A and B are shown apart, each in its own frame.
Chain A
Amino acid sequence: MIMWIYVLIVAWFLYLTVYNLYKEEKPIHQVTAALVVIPLLLRLLGIK
């Protein structure tokens, strides 16, 4: 159960990060968001 709550939290953060990636105006902020996508995605898929 606690694992599923954790997965939902990670999924929510991933959604917010991708949302920001498209909403940010400055390229440097978009690059930062793209970098954050990588670990969140790996975590969500149970890779690392």
Chain B
Amino acid sequence: MMKAFQDRNIRASILLGLALLVALVATLRFRSQWVEEPLYPSPHLTEVRMLSEYHPPLEGTPLDTELYFFDSGVPGGTLLICGGNHPNEPAGYLASVFFLENIQMTEGRAIVMPRMNKGGFLHTESQEAQLQRFRIPTPHGEREFRHGSRVTSPVLQWPDPTVYVNPRGIFWDEIVQDHPEMTVGNPGPGQQTLAGIDSRNVNRVFPGHPRGTITEQLAYAIVELIRQEEVNLAVDYHEAAPEYPTNNVIVAHERAADVATWAELLLAGDNIGISTDTSAINLRGLTHREWGDADPGVLPVLLEAPNVAQGRLKGRTTEEQIVEGRDLAYERVQMIQTQLNERLAERARRLEERGRTPRERSRRILYVRIPEGGIHIDVRTARHVQTTMRLVESYNDQMAGPPIGVASIPHYDEIVANGTGYYLHGPEGEPPAGSNGEEN
């Protein structure tokens, strides 16, 4: 045996065999993420369509995604609920699944798109050692959900450019020719440049382009869906690292700012602290910006909740970190943040005593307070669900468009108390009745 190993060719063949074995094991592991977990729509589902109906070249590609229609049969507005824009933001995905499996419309209709970028569900974040899945306990047993990446898999779109320019910057003349309304109140093509990897981030490539990259075509199809289905209110779910300033926030297109601000006040009544940011006009390619600019009839908003698993300061990724939102490194950072602010406040007090004006009283490392025990995925999901319900209520209160009626959605407190899994379906039967009977 040892003698055989001394032969260069035999040694090379053994090593090649081992390499092929490792590649085979890795292949089985990576390919397991291409298997979609089952979702169980609410019994009030009226129709399932594919996104490729709005842009046929997407048909048969891994990015073609399901659209679940819930039509009340009563005339009214159209609500679009989107999860999975960034598949590494699990509460965003789970909130859309929550609506998919529980929604009942009483006026108008809802379209639920739980896996906006299916190309992001096929792999994990590169070099981040992220988990492929997380589990949620339900009365029907544990359900697994994929934990993907914020960008389309490089297997589907490669190579990345060195610098990415949004399609508005390249195809502006063509876009304006097809949709002259996009010039109203708009700063023009813009010269925004982004990192090359953002060419695969669907939330940087809107309004997309019919002959662009596969991610740009996905974005184009979504914009066409909004235009053709005359969507009135569109909600896009996300999560963010605790050190990211846009957190616990509704980011609203300027036309949706009134609806969002009133929803913020309604949420204060639920003891949910949230703020409203108006979408920056020069930050191109995002849902809250481009959907509103592409279709003057839609009020688009984007919701953010805090997730330690996405942060730069986190420790080793574990399932508990994703589900319980708990991380020892972040708890330590929170401790440093508290001590830092105490010292700055003390220094400011001493300076004021001497008649001088302090330069700063606090300094932010984290934009969200991390409580002991973390921010559980149930809390993050419930925030998205309750915010959506209050946005619908606000939209109706302000008569921002044809009325939208949503029933059968539990309140934030109930979701947090019972857990998200309590309201999810299983293959064997219905979920427990969780409706508070309240209509919005």
Contacts and interface: CB of A to CB of B under 8 A. Distances in A.
Query: Is B truly associated with A?
Result: yes
Contacts of A6: 158-159
B123 interface: yes
A34 B30 contact: no
Nearest to A18: B16
Contacts of B20: 37, 41
A11 B314 CA distance: 38
A21 B10 CA distance: 11
A-side binding surface: helix, strand, loop or mixed? helix
A19 B8 CA distance: 12
Interface in B1-33: 8-9, 11-12, 15-16, 18-20, 22-23, 26-27, 30-31
A42 B16 contact: no
B8 A25 contact: yes
B23 A38 contact: yes
A46 B155 CA distance: 5
Given A2-B159, A3-B158, A6-B159, A30 B23 contact: no
Interface string B384-411: 0000000000000000000000000000
B120 to A, nearest CB: 14
Given A33-B15, A42-B23, 16 more contacts: A6-B159, A22-B8, A30-B8, A31-B15, A34-B15, A34-B19, A37-B16, A37-B19, A37-B20, A37-B23, A38-B26, A45-B27, A47-B30, A47-B155, A48-B30, A48-B155
Contacts of B19: 34-35, 37-38, 41
Interface in B129-159: 155, 158-159
Nearest to B18: A34
Nearest to A5: B159
A21 B158 contact: no
B-side binding surface: helix, strand, loop or mixed? helix
B15 A42 contact: no
Interface of A: 2-3, 6, 18, 21-22, 24-25, 27, 30-31, 33-35, 37-38, 41-42, 45-48
Contacts of B9: 22
Closest 7 CB pairs of A and B: A34-B15, A34-B19, A37-B19, A22-B12, A46-B155, A48-B30, A21-B12
Given A34-B18, A42-B30, A48-B123, A27 B11 contact: yes
15 contacts: A6-B158, A21-B12, A22-B8, A30-B12, A30-B15, A34-B12, A34-B15, A34-B19, A35-B19, A37-B23, A46-B155, A47-B27, A47-B30, A47-B155, A48-B123
B31 A47 contact: yes
A24 B159 CA distance: 31
Contacts of B159: 2, 6
Interface string B16-54: 101110110011001100000000000000000000000
A48 B15 contact: no
Nearest to B122: A48
Contacts of A37: 16, 19-20, 23
Contacts of B158: 3, 6
Contacts of A42: 23, 26-27, 30
B157 to A, nearest CB: 8
A9 to B, nearest CB: 10
A47 B22 CA distance: 13
